[in-house]
Amino acid sequence: MEWAVFVPTAALALAGGVGVIAARQPVHSALALLMVLASLAVSYLLLAAQFIAVLQVIIYAGAIVVLFLFVIMLLHARSGEGPREKLPRQRAEAYVFAALYLGVLLAAALGAAAPLASIAAEFGTAQQVGESLFTTYLLPFELASVILLVGIVAATVLGRRPPEHAGRGKG
C-alpha cells in the first residue's frame, strides 16, 4: 500500500532533481525545485513526520521558492550562462567523482537495513516535536532566533542601495 504512494513520489522527486540541475532557464529550475519539495513533503507524511511535512510546505515551498522566483525576476536580464568554460575538464571530472560518491552513499544506505521501530500514534505531531524543542533543545531553539535575526539584519544591510552622494567606491 505504501509502495503505491512511495514509488510515484520518489519518481517525481528524482525527475525534479534532474530538472533543477539541467534546466536552461533559472525559472524552470525553481519550478523543478518546487516539485522536489512537494514530493519530499509527501514522503515525510509516509514517514510519520506530519509536522515536518507542513513546515516543508510552508517554509520551503511557500517562502524560499517564492524568494528564488522574486530574485530570478529581478535579475532576469543577462542572467544566463556564457559559452565560455574556464575549466574545460571540470564537467567530465564532476560526473566521474559524483558517480563514485553515489556508489559510496548507496553502499552505506543499503547497509543501514534495520527494521522500522514501532511508534505510537502521536509520533511526529506538532505537540511531540514542540515538547522536545522546548525541553531538550531549548538552548539551540533560542539560538535559532538569533540566527534568524542575523539573517534579517544581513539582508537589510546588503539589500540597501548605496547613498547617492557617496558614489560607488566600495565596488
Partner 1 sequence: MVPAPAYLALSAVLFTLGAVGVLVRRNALIIFMAVELMLNSVNLAFVTFARQHGSIDGQVAVFFVLVVAAVEVVVGLALIVDIFRSRETVDIDDVDLLRG
Task: Name the minimum Å distance from CB 163 to partner 1.
Answer: 14
41 contacts 57 by C-beta, under 8 angstroms: yes
Window 71-90: residues binding partner 1 (CB under 8 A): 71-72, 74-75, 78-82, 84, 86, 90
57 contacts 34 by C-beta, under 8 angstroms: no
Q: How far is CA 4 from CA 97, 109, 141, in A?
A: 33, 22, 37
3-state secondary structure 37-63: HHHHHHHHHHCCCHHHHHHHHHHHHHH
Window 149-168: residues binding partner 1 (CB under 8 A): 150-152, 154-155, 158-159, 168
Q: Establish if 35 lies at the interface with partner 1 (CB under 8 A).
A: no
DSSP reduced 3-state for 106: helix
Interface with partner 1 (CB under 8 A), residue from 109, 121, 139, 166: 109
Q: Establish if 42 lies at the interface with partner 1 (CB under 8 A).
A: no
Interface with partner 1 (CB under 8 A), residue from 88, 89, 91, 121: 91
Window 119-138: residues binding partner 1 (CB under 8 A): 119, 123-124, 128-129, 132-133, 136-137
Interface with partner 1 (CB under 8 A), residue from 8, 73, 95, 138: 95
Q: How many residues bind partner 1 (CB under 8 A)?
A: 86
Q: To 10 degrees, the CA torsion angle through 17, 21, 22, 27? A: 90
